[in-house]
Amino acid sequence: DIREDRKKGRDALRGMLKRLGFWQLQKSVFVHPYSCRAEIEFIRDMFDLPEREALYFSTDRIPNEALLKKRFKLEL
């Protein structure tokens, strides 16, 4: 969660995630089927967002994987 005093950066990050095609899984959790580390780091640096408030991680397994594959129109 990005603090309220960093609202400009938080809104920029959220907007970028949506433009990149991320899907909001939970209020503060967005998912994407492909790596976007460079883009996330760029916007984090641009708006001086601490890594602990704007986390990025990748995984090859996630609960409800079939739902997400359907959402992103990927093979089941």
DSSP letter assigned to residue 9: H
Angstrom distance (rounded) from CA 5 to CA 45: 16
The pTM of the full predicted model, rounded to 2 decimals, is 0.76
Residue 50's pLDDT is 92
pLDDT tens, the chain, 76 aa long: 888 898 888 898 889 889 989 999 888 889 998 888 898 898 889 888 999 988 888 888 888 888 888 889 887 5
DSSP letter assigned to residue 33: S
- Quick one: tokens of 59? 């995984």
